[in-house]
Structure 1
């Protein structure tokens, strides 16, 4: 039973990643090693974030309600993820949709392997069933959408042919992406919502962000007449 539960969790996490890579057409562009490259930059970025947090914010267990400014500064470190994704996109040649998908999938896959693999191997194989591992699996799928949306926003922000009226919206979405986890944690503490409701809220916010991003991207793609 424990191995069956572990197998279900692994399939629930990694199968959507595999299907996204396979049916997005990235295999036709030989994007496998570019995804590996994105994963390497992800690991370097997380190492830099850990060093910054350990150096300037050693008290990682401080209460959010008593130290809003400290939590805000810690969330500011997450901007490093956007910078890392920017460097990933800069190193990927090709059309726009292949660039953002390669960067997003590679980044998200590295995150899910480093943050979920050991957790599932140690926890999901336990003697007792626990819903929290299923929740972690759904959360990983939500993060896949978020990382692809983040990569698309960075690509849009770097375009010189993006309408000036859309530039503030893209910038605001990028800033919101960096501070989204802090905002959601604050909502969870204030409203005292449970883990399943929090997961639904996170999925809703991510889908809205992704939908707005897709709308802006589609408009730009139609205006230039080609995905590049």
Structure 2
């Protein structure tokens, strides 16, 4: 039972990345090199964030909400945006379109995120003697939800840095959506750890709906910017 539980959670965590790569044109254009490079950039970005958190944040004495600390965490979260900028604009890529580039970068970014944040907890939690829904919920949260959010952020990043002929009316919306996606972990932590105090199923439901909404908005913005200007 332990082995099957671990395998199920591992497939739930890392399976969607393989399915997305195989089911989209990414596999036809052999963009695995771009995804690997993006994953390495994510690991470097995560190291920078870890150093910033250890340097500028103090260990809380209690569970009370500290606006200064939470604001600092949100600002440090924008390090991900800098890492995405480097991955989208500074890395050498194959001769692929903008559509495939942001998907390949987002896929590598999301896979590295799942490995870094889920692999060790999955190994410890899913190897327990009894089945628990919490491990499956954590695998679902880190994979499907944050996979969608990372792809959406990569799509918006490609519009900001790679798309030059954007409609001017959409530029503020693109930046606003990118800011929301970059601070989504802080928003979730503020609402549920210090605010509403929801349990894990409600938290996952909220994040799932939020990720789908942001993905829809990002898709609409990307489609609007792809249309030729009149």
TM-score by length of 1: 0.93
Q: Within 5 Å, give how 1:10-159 maps onto structure 2.
A: 10-59=10-59, 63=63, 65=65, 67-90=66-89, 91=91, 92=93, 93-139=95-141, 140-158=143-161, 159=163
Cα distance, 1:63 vs structure 2: 3.5
* d(CA) in 1 for partners of 2:22, 2:215: 20
Residue 205 of structure 1 and its aligned partner are, at CA, apart by: 0.7
Q: Which residue of 1 aligns with 2:170?
A: 166
Q: How many residues align?
A: 223
Q: Distance in 2 between matches of 1:10 and 1:61?
A: 35
Distance 1:192 1:58 in 2: 23
Q: CA deviation at 1:58?
A: 3.5
* Residues 104 and 148 in structure 1, CA contact (< 8 A), matched pair in contact too: yes
Q: Quick check: 2:153–2:182 contact (8 Å CA) kept in 1?
A: no
Provide the C-alpha distance between the structure 1 equivalents of 2:140 and 2:178, rounded to a whole number of angstroms. Answer: 23
Q: Deviations over 1:125-150 (max 9, x none)?
A: 11122211111111121111110000
Q: TM-score, normalization: structure 2? A: 0.92
Q: How many Å separate the matches in 2 of 1:178 and 1:89?
A: 16
Give yes or no for contact 2:122–2:139 (8 Å, CA) kept in 1: no
Tell me the alpha carbon deviations over residues 58-116 of structure 1, each in whole angstroms, 9 at most, x when there is no partner. Answer: 32676352x11211111210101011011111123521111110010000001111211
Q: Secondary structure at the match of 2:195?
A: helix
**Cα 1:62/1:46, change in 2 over 3 Å:** farther
How many Å apart are 1:186 and its aligned residue?
2.1
Equivalents in 1 of 2:135, 2:146: separation in Å?
A: 15
- 2:9 aligns to what? 9
Native 8 Å contact 2:42 2:83 kept in 1: yes
Deviation for aligned residue 1:190: 2.1
Partner-residue secondary structure (3-state), 1:26? coil
* Change beyond 3 A, Cα 1:72–1:8: same
- What are structure 2's unaligned runs of at least 5 residues? none
